[in-house]
Amino acid sequence: MDALCAALIAGIPLTGEIPADVTTVLARHGCAATGKHSMAVAAEAQRLAVHFGGNAHQAETAGWLHDISAIVPAAQRIEYTQQWGIAVFPEEAAAPMLLHQRQSAVLAAELFGVSDAAVLSAIGCHTTLKASPTTLDKIVFLADKVAWDGVAARHLIRTRSCGRSRCRWMRRAGATSTISGCAALLCSPSIRGSWRLITSFLITWEGE
């Protein structure tokens, strides 16, 4: 196992069961809220996979692990990424939090033994999506947004990485179920199309 990865779980007893271990590891790093979010994303991803004909087990696994890189020190995201031999894009250098999606894929493989390329792909693009996404990529991407809770929204406000009006909308009761019911989001062929659809909902709700 990579030394940096090993250090992140040093002294933490693991069971081999992903849900339990993700919850434990995140809690031991002071990220219990991310553990609850991960559980919600796993459940939502599983639900979407069943509904849209995806692989429910892959979706649930990716959901549990998609934010496991919350355990990487925030101030060292670029350093960790470079030490793992991963090139940092200019956009990621400007907003290092973007790196967390690809870092989660590294940790899913290194710490949890995930070798399924489809699962690692979905984890690795769960924030931004990517060109020519698979159905699983889109399911996990959307599950993350649908299951976005108040804690995550408040964090984004604090870090100013998201517009305030968007976060206000995300905290509204009913917003989640509105997006959840929109099958069209999963049919969009691109990140640009997905965000255009999501933005149309944001505008609708902000205008009410």
The contact set with Fe ion (CB under 5 A) reads 67, 144
Q: Between 5 and 102, name the residue whose CB sits nearer to Fe ion.
A: 102
Minimum separation from the CB atom of position 81 to Fe ion (A) = 15
Q: Between 54 and 63, name the residue whose CB sits nearer to Fe ion.
A: 63
Q: Between 39 and 182, name the residue whose CB sits nearer to Fe ion.
A: 39
Minimum separation from the CB atom of position 55 to Fe ion (A) = 20
Minimum separation from the CB atom of position 204 to Fe ion (A) = 24
Minimum separation from the CB atom of position 149 to Fe ion (A) = 9
Minimum separation from the CB atom of position 152 to Fe ion (A) = 7
Q: How far is CA 152 from CA 58, 100, 156, in A?
A: 24, 14, 6
CB atoms within 10 A of CB 75: 8
Q: Between 21 and 102, name the residue whose CB sits nearer to Fe ion.
A: 102
Helix (H, G, I), strand (E, B) or coil at 159: helix
DSSP 30-85: T-HHHHHHHHHHHHHHHHHHHHHT--HHHHHHHHHHTTGGGGS-GGGHHHHHHHTT
Q: Between 60 and 144, name the residue whose CB sits nearer to Fe ion.
A: 144
CA–CA separation, 170 and 59 (whole Å): 23
Instruction: Give the contacts of 208 (CB within 8 A, at least 6 positions apart).
Output: none
The tokens describing 197, both together, are 């659809």
Minimum separation from the CB atom of position 125 to Fe ion (A) = 10
Positive or negative, the Cα torsion across 166, 167, 173, 178? positive
Q: Between 71 and 203, name the residue whose CB sits nearer to Fe ion.
A: 71
